[in-house]
Structure 1
């Protein structure tokens, strides 16, 4: 079966719009051109793109689907549908579930649920250690055989250097990645937001920047010693950017991601003691935000990931002292970044698509990430012309914990195609 997507555009590396048509044959891109209509219409399903941007499906290597254990926050079905609504065709799910998938049996149970419930490609992480505690390593080889994407204790840092070293030794041997939430618990001091002028203003305990950067400094040296691929989650501070930049210059195999909310917001945007603005790592200072943008532009930070972290409504409407950390992002990431960075000339469209699709695919050896003949038919169409308002009542996610509700944006997802099949249509 063929599908012909007509009346769409893409951007070349000079930033120029190009009208194109894209022909799909089952789950692959068959042809790209300006006039592909000669194909026998009886054999073709025609989709009118109505002038939308066509892009390779977005890839998010950092989401929380909350299943099993926390299905009131999100499920594999709702989280994958939220991803589809945001133009994501591949997402990678973190293992801080209950139970933690730290054995092959537990891991395979999640894999079975993904197979029946997910509407996009979902790759499941396994934990670095049993129970996400900094003690006993999991069976990496067994979990990789069961389908593990990579290994992470996201949500908590690995507190023991020796444990992280041994995990990296195994990862290097198994040719897999260690993906790190970097946070030294001994430097937390009960913090709930960035240690800065706003934590002083609201009289709330702060989280030091060094809490993150110190563990990255430790880990890049462990990566150098072991040869393991070390990937840093949600970089948030200028010190962290500096450490990663220096490590890359030294030839260490380190990669890094940044979230949309850390690029768009700083501590100065926090209006008061409200859990909606509580996230980990926290929103940092303006100098940190500028360093993250600079790091993305100069290649120190490799790509963008959402850290989609859904929570219950009542949980997040509490004080920062008691609310859980987390912000959702699957359904808003592309439109926010396009509106505030591409339309303003800070990023090009090619850069944004590179950071949200191509680079994640290249970094982890994933299928997709390119709009090219022979590639997987994982695609997304975005309306760049019409303004829309972010409306929580339209979310596919079960959660609404984001400060971006009510923001006006461009770049709404119109259509998402996974393996040649439409999984979301506006």
Structure 2
């Protein structure tokens, strides 16, 4: 009898041990996932936050989803929209192409203006679909992209992932939405590539890109055409010309030069063939924002519904520049004047990295259709950037010293 009882005990303990093992294994996996990805917010709370941020001040205002909202242009556009009473929700993946702390600081700035920035990737179709289901956005301002010409030589796949696959992901989500939002997106002046005719006009050829970055932006324009033609999406492309100003991108020349001059480091000043000047059509961020808002305000409604086209839709592309190319030598001398520091200049031949010698925008079309009129001269705009730069990084240094 004792042996039989012991046998029964062993038989009941064995499956119980398996059950416990499975239970603790699942608990451990849950803890690991929680550590890696954090505690997900409840669906109801998330949707409530999204709706609150997207609520416009009036029924006539826009509701705009801004991709790349924690980026340079995205931050300024989002704040401008919110200030005038539009509903705004941002999305950004806070990638590490440049210092993520700057993107987080921009996101904090947006939060103070009442703009929610969702931490997510535009290639996440489920997330995009959820956002477009929670809010019936009237417009999408698509600014998320892998920027920079030279970085394409190091990480080419990131440009295909963000600028091509990412654009398709956004267009797919908008195509399937009901109602379909109108789309304004950031192309680039780089699409003009090896075109030697200046100033660059929207009518000029754009089939000779000088860099992979330019090629992905040109591909984006062709992809936009197909989605407009097949699905009735209203799409406006904006070709930005060298945007600069406060909260700018650290990989841009004016930003790098400021940093290196203040640190006493050497500044590389590139020149073209036969000592020709390298020049850029620097365009101040506030002027770019005006162009973006003008494009949003004049965008016609998409004609499709749930992925089906019901009629021809608007398709446009515009240059947003300043029409006054600035030689790199003038950029350096202006910074020397504003910073009150002499730069350690080293003149070098232009490398074969995809950069072009000159950019110069013809903005006649944007002026006529969008009311786009840049008003900030180069030295005024650069002065505002220098003021922001010294304030921001002195504050950052102070915060670091108190940690």
Point out the structure with the larger helix share. 2
Higher relative contact order (CA 8 A, sep 6+): 1
Point out the structure with the larger strand share. 1
Give TM-score, length-normalised by structure 2: 0.34
